[in-house]
């Protein structure tokens, strides 16, 4: 029986990402944090189509990740082959300066091991953050197993393991150094889209109260350096409100039926993409990029 690359019951990565409290939040945070690395953001953006429907694109990406997290190996392999073909085209050089450390002409490639490591690192950090606070704190051995699963996940996308932190502790040390690095920089587009992906998600009017709680928790989840780069304040009042929202989220999860706790988040993401499409059709404002 093909139980996939991350079998249920054997993979901590699958257990973490099957939690809807994680699945509904980690990707938005990862996009927001990930945008502070100019080569990652600009290189991806230059080879991205359909910029006028960014949330449809995000939904598509979420579906591909779920196929690898939860699908059979056969299904995951089809997705991985498609992504590999997309990544082959993501190569070039910066058309203009992207901060003081990345001048015009700096080369980039989707297969650059350092850029691939940053991508998986912000995913891992985001998933850990939400699981710890909305489900339960991971134990030390679980964190280690989770990082080993992420290394396997990254390998499937052709990131070489040899250049990545070998243990969870090494990963956390490396990640904190990266967050303190002088090369972090938001281009105008990265600032707009990184913020929009976390805080301007198209949602139906019936979901606006939930969205306000979502935005508060998202703000609290961001590393201080990232909030600083986006120019976001985080007051003591907001901190207290975020703590209360997280406590309410944990309680709501405990009381919810299993079907609402775990499983695919694609229906929720498709609702966002549908709301985006409806707003565009009605001429209502929604985050868009030129191109």
User: Which of 23, 16, 13, 17 is CA-nearest to residue 147?
Assistant: 13
**What are the DSSP E strand ranges found in the chain?**
91-93, 107-109
Give the burial string for 129-158 (b: 16+ CB within 10 Å, else e).
bbbebbbeebeeebbbbbbbbbbebbebbe
Average the pLDDT over 10-22 and give the result.
98
pTM exceeding the 0.85 threshold for the entire prediction: yes
CB 261 within 8 A of CB 134: no
Looking at residue 214, its pLDDT comes to 96
Q: Residues 213, 187, 210, CA angle at the centre, nearest 5°?
A: 10
Query: What does the pLDDT look like over 142-166, one tens digit per residue?
Result: 999 999 999 999 999 999 999 999 9
DSSP 78-133: HHHHHHHHHHHT-EEE-SS--STTS-TT-EEETT-HHHHHHHHHHHHHHHHHHHHH
pLDDT tens for each residue of 89-141 = 999 999 999 999 999 999 999 999 999 999 999 999 999 999 999 999 999 99
Contacts of 203 (CB under 8 A, 6+ apart): 210, 211, 271, 272, 275
Q: By percentage, how much of the chain surpasses pLDDT 70?
A: 100
Model pLDDT, residue 84? 97
> Tokens in use for 55?
């949330």
pLDDT band at 1; cut points 50, 70, 90: confident
What's the average model confidence in pLDDT over 41-49?
93
What is residue 50's predicted lDDT score, i.e. its pLDDT?
Answer: 81
The SS3 of residue 61 is: helix
Question: Is 291 a residue whose pLDDT tops 70?
Answer: no
- Residue written as tokens 């989770």? 146
| Whether the predicted pLDDT of 18 surpasses 90 | yes
Phi-psi region of 50 (alpha: psi -120 to 50; beta: other; left: phi over 0): left
Pairing of strands 91-93, 107-109: antiparallel
Q: For all residues of the chain together, what is the average pLDDT?
A: 96
CA–CA separation, 246 and 233 (whole Å)? 19
């Amino acid at each position: 029986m093909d139980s996939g690359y991350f079998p249920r019951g054997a993979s901590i990565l699958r257990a973490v990402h099957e939690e809807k409290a994680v699945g509904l939040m980690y990707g938005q945070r990862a996009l927001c944090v990930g945008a502070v690395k100019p080569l990652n953001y600009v290189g991806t953006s230059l080879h991205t189509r359909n910029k006028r429907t960014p949330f449809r694109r995000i939904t598509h990406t979420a579906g591909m990740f779920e196929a690898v997290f939860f699908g059979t190996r056969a299904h995951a392999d089809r997705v991985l082959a498609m992504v590999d073909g997309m990544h082959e085209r993501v190569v070039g050089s910066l058309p203009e300066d992207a901060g003081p450390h990345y001048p015009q002409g700096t080369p980039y490639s989707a297969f650059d091991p350092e850029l691939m490591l940053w991508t998986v690192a912000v995913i891992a950090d985001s998933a850990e953050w939400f699981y710890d606070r909305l489900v339960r704190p991971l134990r030390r051995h679980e964190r280690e197993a989770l990082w080993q699963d992420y290394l396997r996940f990254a390998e499937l996308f052709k990131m070489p393991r040899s250049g990545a932190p070998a243990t969870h502790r090494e990963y956390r040390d490396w990640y904190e150094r990266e967050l303190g690095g002088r090369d972090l920089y938001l281009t105008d587009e990265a600032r707009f889209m990184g913020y929009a992906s976390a805080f301007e998600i198209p949602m139906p009017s019936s979901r606006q109260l939930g969205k306000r709680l979502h935005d508060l928790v998202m703000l609290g989840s961001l590393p201080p350096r990232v909030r600083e780069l986006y120019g976001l304040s985080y007051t003591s009042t907001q901190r207290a409100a975020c703590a209360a929202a997280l406590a309410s989220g944990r309680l709501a999860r405990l009381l919810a039926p299993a079907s609402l706790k775990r499983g695919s988040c694609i229906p929720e993401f498709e609702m966002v993409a549908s709301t985006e499409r409806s707003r565009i059709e009605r001429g209502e404002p929604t985050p868009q990029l030129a191109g």
